[in-house]
């Protein structure tokens, strides 16, 4: 159960992490620092660093989400498998399903489903992310690879690291994006004002996103996206930074009842099979909810 607290600093000069630890005795200093780092603690409505010295009268809001379980439990959640062999499976993940447990969604994740389908992965050293070598945002649908054994996982992880894996996404953005083809190159890092968000920042890590307009629909652009790097929220951050946010993206764009979730779908993935080195390409059609959005705006 999520807990929410609000406090007002009565003296000046106390570190934020110490203040939170004193006000919330169920938290260790380390846990308090992690919550602050992850953006669950705000000072006067803004994210802050654990070392921030408070002023008298500062308003401190603390959200304590349910703890992430220390051990993953198998859950019988249906998987849409588009490819499977002795080393891996590729799943077409629906929107709304988180990839692995985290604060806010401790269970009912893709990892729980995978463990039910492949019980042998329970012996994996990383028991909360069995076989998972990359991720998709909770509200992004599409293709994701799951390794069945450690050798395959190591092989696939190296493919991602060396950028052998090629991913393609389909997205709809607000506005008429021109030119029709281009590359967005801007470093991405943690947003200093909102720790749960990412942002284009000079202190961030290199990030490159290639885009191609598929078609214009009124004041919208349907795009094919090929990220060359794999930063957190990269596509959403880059498109918002150039003024063309993904429709339905309430974090980096605008909330709208017309778009129930962010229009972002991992439609294609190309990689080499760990067993043979043969390159394969797998595709996923646009899911019905996103097809419905296109029909509506057309």
Which residues are the active-site residues?
Answer: 137
Residue that is written with structure tokens 């992965």 in the block:
121
Of the candidates 251, 244, 246, 248, the residue with the CA atom closest to the CA atom of residue 260: 248
Angle at CA 199, nearest 5°, toward 194 and 203?
A: 105
Of the candidates 210, 203, 127, 129, the residue with the CA atom closest to the CA atom of residue 163: 210
CA atoms of 38 and 194, how far apart (whole Å): 9
Of the candidates 123, 137, 145, the residue with the CA atom closest to the CA atom of residue 74: 123
Q: Can you read off the two tokens belonging to residue 268?
A: 């294609």
Do residues 138 and 206 lie in contact, with contact meaning Cβ atoms separated by under 8 Å? no
The percent helix, strand, coil of the chain (3-state, each to 5) is: 20, 30, 50
């Amino acid at each position: 159960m999520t807990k929410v607290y609000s406090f007002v600093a009565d003296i000046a000069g106390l570190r934020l992490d110490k203040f939170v630890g004193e006000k919330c005795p169920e938290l260790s200093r380390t846990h308090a620092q992690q919550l602050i780092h992850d953006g669950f603690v705000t000072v006067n409505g803004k994210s802050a660093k654990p070392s921030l010295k408070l002023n008298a009268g500062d308003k401190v809001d603390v959200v304590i989400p349910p703890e992430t379980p220390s051990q993953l439990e198998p859950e019988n959640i249906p998987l849409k498998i588009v490819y499977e062999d002795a080393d891996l499976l590729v799943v077409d993940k629906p929107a709304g399903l988180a990839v692995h447990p985290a604060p806010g969604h401790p269970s009912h994740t893709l990892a729980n489903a995978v463990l039910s389908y492949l019980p042998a992965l329970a012996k994996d050293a990383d028991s909360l992310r069995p076989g998972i070598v990359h991720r998709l945002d909770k509200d992004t649908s599409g293709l994701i690879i799951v390794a069945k054994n450690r050798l395959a996982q190591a092989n696939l992880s190296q493919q991602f690291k060396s950028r052998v894996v090629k991913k393609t996404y389909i997205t709809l953005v607000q506005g008429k994006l021109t030119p029709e083809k281009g590359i967005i190159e801007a470093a991405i890092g943690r947003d200093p004002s909102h720790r749960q968000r990412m942002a284009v920042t000079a202190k961030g890590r290199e990030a490159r996103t290639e885009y191609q307009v598929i078609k214009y629909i009124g004041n919208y652009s349907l795009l094919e996206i090929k990220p060359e790097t794999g930063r957190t929220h990269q596509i959403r951050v880059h498109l918002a930074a150039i003024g063309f946010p993904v429709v339905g993206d309430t974090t980096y764009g605008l909330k709208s009842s017309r778009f129930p979730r962010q229009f972002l779908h991992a439609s294609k993935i190309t990689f080499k099979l760990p067993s043979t080195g043969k390159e394969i390409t797998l595709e996923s059609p646009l899911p019905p909810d996103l097809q419905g959005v296109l029909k509506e705006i057309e």
